[in-house]
Amino acid sequence: MTTYRPRLTTNQKRAVLERWSASSLSQAEFCRQENISPSAFHHWRNQLSNQRLNESVDDWIELNHPQLDEFETPVVSPPEWNVELVLPGDVILRLRY
């Protein structure tokens, strides 16, 4: 006989991933302890990571370099770069220039 487990909401999945992130357990150990299939856990991680990557950049804060703002044309053109750092607890740090 199989046991019925209700589907988790996105917020519940995030909470599970945050508990794992705060624990010192491996994914396999955590899944065994929480009675979660490793494939479901992996799917949740990918699903939520993709949601973060697909978020709009409307909430980005533009930072201006004060020394470059003083010149009409910079003496040396700085390189363009984009950095996104995803931290535990749904914290995302995005930098671009």
CB contact set of 26 (below 8 Å; sequence gap of 6+): none
* Residues 32 and 25 sit within 8 Å (Cβ to Cβ): no
Looking at per-residue pLDDT, the higher value among 50 and 17 belongs to 17
Contact predicate 69/62, CB 8 Å: no
Which is nearest to 36 in space by CA: 83, 69, 3?
3
Residue with tokens 């535990």: 88
Q: Does residue 38 have a pLDDT over 80?
A: yes
How far is 61 from 52, CA to CA, in rounded Å?
17
Which of residues 89 and 3 earns the better pLDDT score?
A: 89
Residue 36, pLDDT > 60, answer yes
Between the ranges 4-18, 34-48, 59-73, where is the mean pLDDT highest? 34-48
CA–CA separation, 28 and 92 (whole Å): 25
State residue 26's pLDDT score.
92
How is the chain split into domains, by residue range? 10-96
| SS3 category, 89 | coil
Q: What is the average pLDDT score of the chain?
A: 76
